[in-house]
Amino acid sequence: MRPLKYNQAISEATVQCMQADPNIFVAGIGIKDAGGMFGTTEEANELFPDRVFDIPNCENAFAGITIGAAAMGKRPLVVHPRNDFMFLATDQLLNLAAKWKYMYQNGTSVPVVTRASVGRGFGQGATHSQSLHALFGHFPGIYVATPCFPSDMKGLLASALTGDVPVVFIENRAVYNLEDDVPEELYTIPFGKGRIVREGTDVTIVGASLMAYEAMRAAEILATEHGISAEVIDPRSIRPLDEEIILNSIAKTGHLVVADTSWATYGFAAEVAAVAAEKGFSSLRAPVRRVTLPDSPAPVSKPLEDAFHPSPKSIAEACLEVLRSDVQVASHARDVQEAFAGPY
């Protein structure tokens, strides 16, 4: 074990999986550019230049191209520098890859793995700062993972590259710099298993992607300023969703706040709230609260952008609200992307 950043963990998982399986290749638009997709593909390109492909601009066709390659036994790892471009790939991923195993029933599957980043900070704006995890999570036949921490990402990416399921990873731009202890050897983490990243007794906070980290910072505020003990859960994959870990936690705390990097309506937070209402109703001692984006596209101007994203403060305030406390949160945690000097 040694500390690794999130992007380094991705790079290490990619390289170790490529060493183990010659059928894995990595492809994406501009993937061979200096910087290597936020440092996630540089080493793969150095070690396996013939298996890392820069490609023409064709998100729609390319999703299908990778499906056709997977049908012949290849294991494509597709990288989108921004997940917003995946709208163009949705037909192939959702109409074909996600339905393949069920619709064709011939024992084959097309385990196409897609990684896509979500912008945040430096005015990334409306079409570079939205997170499509709930959109992909709606459809059976595809796994969607949004792990927040490097050690989880390494194990889940290795699972994806050795499994038989199409997987989409949605990576918030702000998690690339997060660091934790990552085992050096290759290991897998199963989809559908969440992780308690901080134990607590008063309120459960479930956070998708970056919001697991923001929830930990909120828990710190609650502990130091209010003596409240919050339990933080990173579901790691949102489809399949580990319902048990959430239900067990609310059985203990009786209170649930869900924080998400996307909008509330029909979203991840709505799904977790529905699970709690359907299967954990008797555990809840107060209504569930969702901390999500306001109903607007992402703005550019800094004061607007700062107000747009959920923060440790807004998550902590939601926790106090479900605990029926009228105490104000005094702490002003620094914005997670404060140090990001842009441009991309």
Partner 1 sequence: MTGKDATTLLREMIRIRTAEETVARLYPEQEMRTPTHFSIGQEAVSVGVCQALEITDVAYSGHRCHGEYLAKGGSLLGMFAELYGRVDGCCKGRGGSVHLNAPEVGLVASSAILGETIATAVGSAWAFKMDGVSRIAVTFFGDGVTEEGIMHESLNFASVLHLPVIFVCGNNGLSTNTPLSVRQPRGHEIWKWAAGYGIASALVDGNDVFSVYEGAQKAVEHVRAGKGPYFLEATYFRARVHVGFETDEMKKFAFRSKADVEAGLALDPIARATRKLVADGVCTEADVNDWTATYLRELDDVVAAAKASPYPSTDDLLVGTY
Residue from 84, 27, 99, 73 nearest 262 by CA: 84
Query: Is the CB of residue 104 less than 8 Å from the CB of residue 67?
Result: no
- Which residues of this chain interact with partner 1, rule CB under 8 A? 25, 55-56, 58, 60-74, 91-92, 95-96, 100-106, 108, 140-141, 143, 165, 240
Starting from the edge strand earliest in sequence, which strands make up the sheet with 195-198, in order?
195-198, 230-234, 203-207, 256-263, 289-293
In whole angstroms, what is the distance from residue 10 CA to residue 31 CA?
14
**Has 128 been annotated as catalytic?**
yes
CB nearer partner 1, residue 191 or residue 213: 191
CB nearer partner 1, residue 135 or residue 319: 135
In whole angstroms, what is the distance from residue 148 CA to residue 205 CA?
14
CB of 60 to partner 1, least distance (A): 5
CB nearer partner 1, residue 168 or residue 323: 168
CB of 40 to partner 1, least distance (A): 22
**Positive/negative CA dihedral, 2, 153, 295, 218:** negative
Query: Is the CB of residue 252 less than 8 Å from the CB of residue 220?
Result: no
In whole angstroms, what is the distance from residue 89 CA to residue 87 CA?
5
Q: How many CB atoms lie within 10 A of CB 83?
A: 27
The DSSP 8-state label assigned to residue 326 in this structure reads: -
CB nearer partner 1, residue 76 or residue 280: 76
Residue type, 190: P
Residue from 45, 98, 93 nearest 66 by CA: 93
Query: In the Cβ-directed half-sphere of 184, how many Cα atoms lie within 13 Å?
Result: 2
CB of 78 to partner 1, least distance (A): 11
CB nearer partner 1, residue 190 or residue 294: 190
Residue from 149, 132, 335, 162 nearest 232 by CA: 149
Query: Is the CB of residue 38 less than 8 Å from the CB of residue 7?
Result: yes
CB of 71 to partner 1, least distance (A): 5
Q: Choosing from 80, 128, 133, 309, which is the catalytic residue?
A: 128
CB of 167 to partner 1, least distance (A): 10
CB of 320 to partner 1, least distance (A): 39
CB nearer partner 1, residue 156 or residue 276: 156
In whole angstroms, what is the distance from residue 121 CA to residue 210 CA?
13
User: Could you check whether the bond before residue 56 is cis, i.e. omega within 30 degrees of 0?
Assistant: no
Residues carrying an active site annotation: 128
